[in-house]
Structure formats: C-alpha cells, structure tokens
Structure 1
C-alpha cells in the first residue's frame, strides 16, 4: 500500500484572481505559478467567505463558514481549541507546520514573543506582518544577518500598533517609518533574500529539506504576507517591470479622471513586483521539494485569503461588499498523478479542507461546511460546482450576507439595505441595480440568499433523541 501524500499549501495575502499570468494577465510575471497551474487544476471562479484577513483565513483553514465559527470580523482571537485542518492531519499522523503568516490572533495589543497557540501545528514560525513586531521574522534576520535588523521594519507601522505603544507606554525599540503610504511603491530596505517573503521561502525550504523522503508525511503551510500592502519589493523584482508599459485597470466612464492614472500605474508596479517575488520563492520551494524527493508524493495547493481593490471603485485594500477583485482569488491544486485542467465552476474557500482530506485519505471533521473538489480535479470540465457562493461579514455595521451567482451579486444587510450587481453588464459591479432590476430576478436572489443562509447554519449536534 502506498504511503499517504504530503501536503504543501502556499498561502498568500491580498492576491486578486486576475493577477497571475496563467489567469490571462499580460503584464504580471509568474512563471513558477503558471507551471504549477499547467500541471494541476486551475479554478477560475474560486471565492472566499469573508473580505478581510482573519475570518477568511480561519474559514478556509477550518472548512467552515465564518458565522458558524462565530468570527466574521477582524481582531477576534481564535480560541486555542479550535479544530483546524492541521488538527485533522496531525491526528492522522502528519507532521504539521505553519511558517509565516497565520493571523489567528490580532496583531496589536499582544506581545509577539509570547508562545503562540498551536491550532494543531507541531511546528510554528509565526510572523503575521513584515517586521513591526519582535517575532519569528525578526528572530530569523537577527540570526542570519543582524546588521540588517534595524532596516527590517522601515516600511510598515500599522496604526493599531502605534496606538498600542502610545497607550501602554511600551517602547519596543524597533525603528518604524515616519510616514505611512501603503499604496506607494517603494524598494525594500533590506537585501532581497532578507525580506519577509524571503524569510517564508527560505524557512519553508529548510523545513522541506529536513523531511525524509518516505518518512512521516507532512502538512506544511507557507504563509506569505505579500502582495499585501505596503507595496514594497526588492529592486531586482521592481526592475522586471516598466511602469509606463503596464496596462492600466479599466474603469467606467463616470469615474474617468477621478483617480490619478499614474498613481494607479505605479501601484500596479509594486503590486506585480511583490507577486513576482512570491513566484520566485514558490519556485525555490518547489525545487527543494523535488530535491528532497517529495515532488511525486505531495499535493501542492496555492491560494489566497482575499483580493485587492487596487483602485477599483475608488478604493484600495479589501472591504465590503466584496466585489470580484476582493472576493475572487486564485486556487491551484496539483496532486500526484492527476491530469491538468481548468475548472470554471463556482467553488468556495471552505471547499479546500475537505478536498485535501479526500486526496490524502484523512477523515474530515463531521461539521465541515465545504464540499470536496476531488470530482473537479478528476474531470474539471464536467464539474457543476455550486449555484452560488456565500460571503458573510459584520465589519461593516450592520451585519451583512451576500451571494454571488454566475450573473449577479446580491447583498443584504441587517438594516434591510440591498445591493445588486449585474455581472453581465459592463462595469456592473460599480453600480447598485437593486431599484431597477426585474422584480422576479430580485425575488429569486432574495430567496436564494435566504435558503443558503438557512442551509449553511449548523447548530450543535443532538446526543440523544430528547
């Protein structure tokens, strides 16, 4: 009997679905991810269940909807006993690791030197942001190149961290930038092999090299922070692009001239350079996987926690109501022996955990909300997928829920406000058509959201008939 396959999950932050070469982007350079897509299954309509980091990450890594987890917004600490995909794989005999970003705890109002809850991982090197806290990333730089340590955090100083320092009066001794301009492209202040992305790439590479071929199977998450703002990349990756030649993102006529096109172009420059930096380290990781003898027995998946507006709709970052640029993210899955293909069906981030469990013969938790995508991997063109995908949030008050079908996005909040996007219309996401859409179509969208929310709710299981 053949041993169970390993799992390598490459997980990035704030990557739009359309920001890969294999997704048809003519400008961004991603040769290693394109090669991964060419030998696996690329899901073109893969959607996350929350538009911000913490609840989206927790949802994906547990296979459960945010509302069922009780975490639908930022800054809610994940209870230490929460069962994750790592818990399941550890119970099945896997060596589990998360290196880089996890974001199960708030960034601010805590000491990053304190022990981190394991959440089922045997090996943790947690660094949720690139340098502003005394964490595993700074420890890595302190060990391998201490003279560069003062420059590590010169591009990032989250506002909440600044407030925390002021309130507590604690001086952490870490140099921080004097100005915060997260969507202005800048060159990294440390050598290219000492950035946060390099830290994740190098440490994942080391972890893989230490796993014996044919030994204990591993489940490893590579948690890249990039291409999350601030838009900072090593000069060697910035030099891959000529900002003047980048194709500007299209915008509706009624917004033309409202945004500085040169600012958006320079932001694309930094964003694409960060993606290329991630792609480089993905290549290094996959090369090490092959060198260590794991290439033929490892499931490799690549995805992200949400996208990036990048100036679309006059916004930057991620936010309500979760248009495709924010909610739709890449998903690539390459498993041993599979045929390559492209799946255009609607799928959700909660589907990844049951998929990995089935591919590896691991018993899934009985309370998973997602469904395995094994059938899509075996026959992508024949896979029907879901009629709609669900997104849940409360970061915007009042709380809201939405569905996204092939043709529409329907959003309803607790105050009764409705948003309808007609996705087949040019720039259909830039206007709310709720007041003018066919009443029959609106009624159907309302009904589909209501039934989906009811069906998605999971109460505690009964232990006896009464």
Structure 2
C-alpha cells in the first residue's frame, strides 16, 4: 500500500516510539504507509540456545546479527512454559487460561480476536506458515488460521520435521519435500512477492517446526556438530524415534548434534528471508521479530543457566530468546533488560498500525516505548499460570463439536498409536476454590513470586530476586513476608479476572 504522505508517517512513528502513549492517535490522523510485519517463532527454542547468549557450540550467525544490530530483549518470556498456550497469547494479547487453551491439545476459542484480524481490517495481506497448534487447520475447523484472520495458510495442526505434511488453506495435507524451515520461508517469500505486486503491506507469521523433537538435519548441518566434546551431553535422554514414532532412549550428545543442526537450518532460513527483503527494498520498513515459544525441553537441557526447563514456570521454562529489527524506525542497536512477554505482541502491533484494542481484558502491554530506550522498567506485573486443575474434567461439556476438533496433519510422533492430533476446549460454568490452583507466578520489577501445590494440596510459596538470583536458588519469603503477601494478592486478583474470562463473560 503506497501512500504519498509516508514521509510524515515515519516522523509520527518515530514520535510515537519516543513518546509512546499518543502514538495511535497520531497514526490515525494521517494516511498511512503501514510497515510490513513478520513474526518468527521457534518451537521449543530456549534462551540458552543462541550464539549471542553465549552457547559454547551452537552457531546462530543470523540471530546473532539481529541481536547485534537490532533490539535484543534479554528478559523476554513466553506466556506459558508450553507451546499452544503461548501461541494463543501471541495472537490475542491475553493469557491463554482466559479462553481455555491450558496446554498442548487444547484449542483456542472462535470468539477470540486475533492480531491478524486487526491487520486485515487495516488492509494487510495476512498469511500463516508452519505450526498452528491452536485447533485443526482443516477447512471446516472454526479455529483454523483462516477463521482467525489469515488470508492464506500453509500449516500443520502440530509439530513437524523434515519432509513435512502441510495443509494449504485447509485442504488435505500433502508432503513437502525438504528441510522444513527452508520450505516455510520459501513459501513466505512467494506470498510476500505477491503482496508487493498488489501494493499491500504484509503480515506474515512463520511458526517453525524446529527445533522440536524428534530431531533431524541436513548432512551439511549435522557435520557442523560432528565433533562435540566427549564431555558434553553424556547422559541418556528420552525422546521420540524418527523410525518408529515411539519413545527411545539415546545419548544426549547425539541428540544435540541433530537439534543443533535444526537450529542452524532455522537460523539460515531467517537469513534467506532477510536477504530477500533487502534485495527487494522491503527490509527497511519491515518489522521482523523472532522469539521462542517456551524454554529448552528436558532432553536438550545441557546449557540452561536457569532453574528447570520446558513445562516449568521457573525461569528455565519461560525465559526465551527474542530479537527484533525495524531499520527505518529503530536504526541504532539496543539491548533492553525490561521484562517482556509474548502477550505484549498484540498491543504492540496494534499500536504500530493504529488499531484500537478490543473491549476485553488484555494482559500484554505496548512495548514500543522500550524499543527507543526511553522506557526501561515495566510498570505492569507479568503473570503466569500453567494449566488448570479441571482441564480434563469429564463433567465439563465440549466447547466445540468434537468432530470439528479432529486433526488431519500426520506427524512422526505417535500418541495412542495415532499419527494425528485432536483438540479440545471445555465450557466452564462455575468457579470453585481448586480452580485457583496450578503452578502460577508473578514477576513485578525484580521480584518473582512462585506458588505451587504439593501432593497434599498445600500451597508452597517462593520469592526470588531475579536481578540478584536469576537461577532462583534463594527463597526470600521469610525475609520479606509483606512483599510475598502483596504479590500473592495481586496474583489472586488477576486470577479472578482470568476465571471470569474463562466463563465466557468477555464475549
């Protein structure tokens, strides 16, 4: 979309980043040459698994260049320690417990408003490529990418490896031969090219299947990690066999060779995408943002500097790599220590395109003032809540027709002998005291409160100073009882809001 007043828009965009709150008003007062937006998401890619974060062996030159020359977010978190909920948070700006996407296998709800829908309303060409995992991608699914605001999609219900099955716009899945990250980027480039010809800004979402297990890699990528030290990855780990689709136990070093090869291929595909944007004079006004969907999984945990890993609300489960570039508006590199979250994507992009937020609770905040360096401390606490005590209750009725929740995309990993995955979401009509349970946390400035229940149902409380103790080794609750109580009250109040949403009261 070419608008002759774009020179003034760029000035207003810069003003918006410098002064923040009035940006959307400025954007709505003028004709817009809207920026292109690309969101890239690694599957199970943890904070430690980048060169720029100090990994001793892994090579990620493209992500390292983004971190060096763009915005490096050193304290970025996924909304959940597992993938589907985080993906929902990206699309909606809301915590996934609000709409019943508690954990993998739970769909989003059709009534949710996605950032892609806001983009469509602003004239964007929108497309999704890769892992969806918020419901089936088939044509009659009420939660497929098309129903959530994407004009086109080439997607999989769940995760995938080399030679993936993918569905184009809801059709029967077909095999695409090749390395999956390269396939997705090639398809995205083709879509971007058509959008350019049509003179429309583009919103492209690429959710990689890498580096989720089971692992595989191209020979050249595997060769890069053929000489990992004998002292590295010496334990036996459990994961899925590419041959049988069933669990297998292997030496971690061999597993990591394959995982690192996947990450290297994914990194290279990002480079291919950036090169295309540069060659076609699109890069300067394209916001490109990469991050992971949760922490490093257990079988790959060899260098995580934090406590625990994927599936945990401790730092190892929710702290992820995140880098962004937008050369036209953010010409100078910036590293920020502000706490940021995947729920922030929605309000940040809404601000950038001048769209109003929906009239419902939004958990994320607009990050644009932080990208200028003018704002450094997050004023709104971040909340985490993994799962739901009643997630699998047989007393709850399905939110959607189960037939519409049946997946069609084959994958290597079998579950109960089945190569496809189905989804679920439940109608919850009341709130009981146990609904407030489950691992949950609040991060407010440098402090993090973690609440969990033990086997006896008793609540355990831990308080950490993340600035001094990012590995969460020292519980400060006894020394700071008033602070622990204050944070627990904030968390409880937020949970009440979440459960009110879960009952459907936002729609």
TM-score range, shorter chain: 0.7 to 0.9
Within the alignment, does 1:271 sit opposite 2:276 as a pair? no
Q: CA deviation at 1:366?
A: 3.9
Q: 1:427 to 1:57 in 2, by over 3 A?
A: closer
- Is residue 374 of structure 1 aligned with residue 368 of structure 2? yes
Equivalence map 1:133-148=2 (5 Å): 135-136=166-167
Residue of structure 1 in register with 2:452 after alignment: 412
- With over 3 angstroms needed to count, the CA separation of the structure-2 counterparts of 1:117 and 1:215, relative to structure 1, is closer
Q: Which runs of 5+ in 1 are unaligned?
A: 144-148, 153-189, 250-255, 461-466
Match of 2:385, SS state, is strand
Summarize the Cα distance change of 1:424–1:134 in structure 2 as closer, same or farther, 3 Å threshold: closer
Q: 2: CA distance between counterparts of 1:344 and 1:55? A: 24
**Separation (CA, whole Å) in 1 of partners of 2:442 and 2:106:** 24
Contact 1:80 1:117 in 2 (8 A): no
Which residue among 287, 292, 295 is the counterpart of 1:299? 287
Partners of 2:231 and 2:338 in 1: CA distance: 28
Residue 222 of structure 1: how far off its partner (Å) = 0.8
Shift in CA distance, 327/246, structure 1 to aligned 2, threshold 3 Å? farther
> RMSD between aligned alpha carbons?
3.7
Distance 1:140 1:22, change over 3 A: farther
Larger fraction in helix: 1
Task: Quote the residue 1:334 is aligned against.
Answer: 325
Q: Which residue of structure 1 lines up, in the alignment, with residue 64 of structure 2?
A: 34
Render the CA deviation track for 1:196-248: whole Å, top value 9, x for unaligned.
Answer: 22221211121122221681111110110101111212121111124433884
| Separation of aligned partners in 2, 1:67 and 1:90 | 26
- Compared CA separation, residues 89 and 286, structure 1 to 2 (3 A): same
Q: Pick from 52, 76, 80 the counterpart of residue 110 of structure 2.
A: 80
- TM-score scaled by length of structure 2: 0.69
Aligned residue in 1 for 2:478: 439
After superposition, residues 247-258 of structure 1 pair within 5 angstroms as 248=232
Unaligned runs of at least 5 residues, structure 2: 7-32, 239-249, 391-436, 502-507
1:364 aligns with 2:403: no
Summarize deviations over 1:323-344 as a string: whole Å, max 9, x none: 3222011121212231210001
Distance in 1 (alpha carbons) for counterparts of 2:49 and 2:385? 24
Q: How far apart are 1:413 and its partner, in Å?
A: 4.0
TM superposition shift of 1:16 = 0.6
* TM-score normalized by the length of structure 1: 0.74
Q: Distance in 1 between matches of 2:133 and 2:102?
A: 14
Q: Which runs of 4+ in 1 moved over 6 A?
A: 139-143, 256-260, 313-317, 424-427
C-alpha contact (below 8 Å) 2:235/2:251 kept by paired residues: no
Decide whether aligned partners of structure 1 residues 386 and 309 sit closer, same or farther in structure 2, where only a CA change above 3 A counts: farther
CA distance in structure 1 between the partners assigned to 2:197 and 2:355 by the alignment: 20
Q: Report the counterpart of residue 318 of structure 1 in structure 2.
A: 310
The whole-number CA distance in structure 2 between the counterparts of 1:43 and 1:407 is 18
Q: CA–CA distance in 2 between the matches of 1:235 and 1:140?
A: 32
* Other structure's SS at 2:203 match: strand
Relative contact order: is structure 1 or structure 2 higher (C-alpha 8 Å, sep ≥ 6)? 1
In structure 2, C-alpha distance between the alignment counterparts of 1:6 and 1:141, rounded to whole Å:
30
**CA shift for structure 1 position 445:** 2.6
Q: Which residue in the other structure is 1:393 paired with?
A: 386
SS of aligned partner of 2:284 = helix
Aligned to 2:131: 101
